[in-house]
Amino acid sequence: MDRTAVGTRLAAGTPKFPGAQYIAGELREGTAEEEFDVVDPADGSLVQRVRLASAEDVDAAVAAARQALPEWSGATPGARSEALSRLSALLAERAGDLAAVESAQTGKPIKLSTEFDVPGTVDNAAFFAGAARNLEGKAAGEYSGDHTSYVRREAVGVVGSIAPWNYPLQMAAWKILPAIAAGNTIVLKPAELTPLTSLMFAQACTDAGIPDGVVNIVTGAGRTAGEHLVSHPGVAMVSFTGSTGVGKRVAELATRTVKRTHLELGGKAPFVVFDDADLDAAVHGAVAASLINSGQDCTAATRAYVQRPLYDAFVAGVAELYGQVRLGNPYHPQTDLGPLVSHTQRDRVAGFVDRARAAGAVIVTGGEAPETGHDGTDLRPGAYYRPTLITGVGQDAEVVQSEIFGPVLVVLPFDSDDEGLRLANDTPYGLAASAWTRDVHRSLRATRDLQAGCVWINDHIPIISEMPHGGYKSSGYGKDMSQYSLDEYTQVKHVMYDTTAVVRKDWHRTIFGDR
């Protein structure tokens, strides 16, 4: 695969990471028996072979995080804020390298890494630099009449975080930044497929002056290193982003040691188009929101419900635009859609489509792997899949109910507003949803009735550092980003001072003596 389009250090073939564990401020080799190949899904070539983390590596990372905790949690908010500001500036300086490595390990188009993943991460760091100084609580008060009460908002301790492969850099940022802004220290386990930009992020933390041990990365397998981290008695809180199935297992393990949990899980976002919507805007929105990151986005539009009068035109419009999307080499600056993250993921997506086809669904367009890219690249060695539009299925079809995590959109018609909203809510998930209408009453009703942690009106996908991201229902609980995430990563202590200096206090009579 020609990576020279972005002229990176990767393209020059320089060695990148002398180890995939970042513990106490330095990169180390893992000590597990197993090695893991980080592969470029654009052509199957090796990006980096890493030795995975053993249980001992996880222990070492937790020990480093525990050692760093008193100093970091005791630092002034101003000092933490300054370090995060320096981090934001360093990440911006390293934007080119970060984007290139992110594209190499995930296959995402360089356009997306450069214009979305990296700037989003830089902005998040800048946001948490400010938020670190704005931890709030209730005002002190004489609530009992005899005492002054106030709250202290304190760090929880060592956070054990586990992240997925779809947005590795942003997930590292979403996990690490609020945790350390609030004074915690952290051990993050990225997905084995995509550890490299998490390591670069941790290195940038050290270079920004964040003390050794505050941010640690262990690159290990979920069943071993992941479970060891989640069960570790030295970890106070678990923050997990990934599939609902693994999230349940993580919650189960964390419960055994009474850890606080924060779970950001799967999604199956509905995209509801009412009959007064701007059809062209809805069609463009559906194409972008279903294909972003090759559909490997927990909030991607996956089920479009279109009110009957617009249904045929919507399907025709999306099919036409899907045909214009430029599929190819992710390092080509004009590529819109790259491969999926791995051949395994591509085959999983193809399996969903093949089963739908066999059950009688209409594959309006796509439903196969492409051979040649828009730039003439041979795509056969890569994990590519064409944008796929499916109709002719019922609400209970597998492709409507299950998370596919690929460039696949299913469209279903509806008649009444009640029906459209009911169908939109009819899956176990509740991460995100959108409604398309020009009617203020319909839009207000949709924002009230759609059961999801985020509802967009006349758009679908944008996120912003100031606003919370997190699920309802089986999409989990807790919030990433925004001031709300600081609630996850802090605990509130009630402090109560006697203000009377009375020896025999009135309430003592409940234990001894009379009034």
- What minimum distance in Å lies between the beta carbon of 348 and ligand NAD? 10
Query: What is the DSSP secondary-structure string of 291-359?
Result: HGGGG--TT-EEEEEEEHHHHHHHHHHHHHHHHHS-BS-TTSTT--B---S-HHHHHHHHHHHHHHHHT
The region, left, alpha or beta by phi > 0 then psi within -120 to 50, assigned to residue 340 is beta
**Dist. CA 55–CA 53, nearest whole Å:** 7
Residue type (1 letter), 454: C
Considering the complex, what minimum distance in angstroms separates the CB of residue 230 from ligand NAD? 5
Residue with token string 């596919």? 404
Are 279 and 310 within 8 A, CB to CB? Answer: yes
DSSP assignment letter at 2: -
Please pick, among 192, 227, 264, 403, the residue that the annotation labels catalytic: 264
Minimum distance of ligand NAD from residue 47's CB (angstroms): 17
Q: Are 113 and 103 in contact (CB under 8 A)?
A: yes
Handedness of CA 286, 287, 288, 289 (dihedral sign): positive
Beta bridge partners of 172: none
Nearer of residues 107 and 267 to ligand NAD, judged by Cβ: 267
Residue (282 or 399) nearer to ligand NAD, CB: 399
To ligand NAD, the closest distance from the beta carbon of 438 in angstroms equals 30
Backbone φ/ψ region at 13: left (φ over 0), alpha (ψ -120 to 50), beta:
left
Q: Which is nearer to ligand NAD, 244 or 391 (CB)?
A: 244
- Shortest CB 394 distance to ligand NAD, Å: 23
Amino acid making up residue 476 = G
Minimum Å distance from CB 262 to ligand NAD? Answer: 10
State which residue has the least CB distance to ligand NAD: 222
List C-alpha distances in Å: 117 to 113, 238, 409, 472. Answer: 5, 24, 23, 24
Q: Are 340 and 406 in contact (CB under 8 A)?
A: yes
Distance of closest approach, residue 242 Cβ to ligand NAD, in angstroms: 3
Q: Which residues bind ligand NAD (CB under 6 A)?
A: 162-166, 189, 191-192, 222-223, 226-227, 230, 241-243, 246, 249-250, 264-267, 298, 403, 405, 431, 471, 475-476
Strand partners, 48: 38
Reply yes or no on whether 264 is catalytic: yes
Which residue, 230 or 410, has its beta carbon nearer to ligand NAD? 230
Identity of the residue, 167 or 331, whose beta carbon is nearer to ligand NAD in the bound complex: 167
Q: Among residues 176 and 277, whose Cβ is nearest to ligand NAD?
A: 176
Please say which residue, 165 or 311, places its beta carbon nearer to ligand NAD: 165
Q: Measured from the CB atom, is 8 or 427 closer to ligand NAD? A: 427
Question: What are 23's two structure tokens?
Answer: 């513990």
Contact between 423 and 304 (Cβ < 8 Å): no
The amino acid at residue 426 is: D
Cα(102)–Cα(110) distance, integer angstroms: 8
User: Smallest distance, Å, CB 267 to ligand NAD?
Assistant: 5
Are residues 38 and 105 in contact, defined by beta-carbon separation less than 8 angstroms?
Answer: yes
Residues 56, 228: contact at Cβ < 8 Å? Answer: no
Let me know: does 220 contact 58? Beta carbons within 8 Å: yes
Active-site residue numbers?
Answer: 264
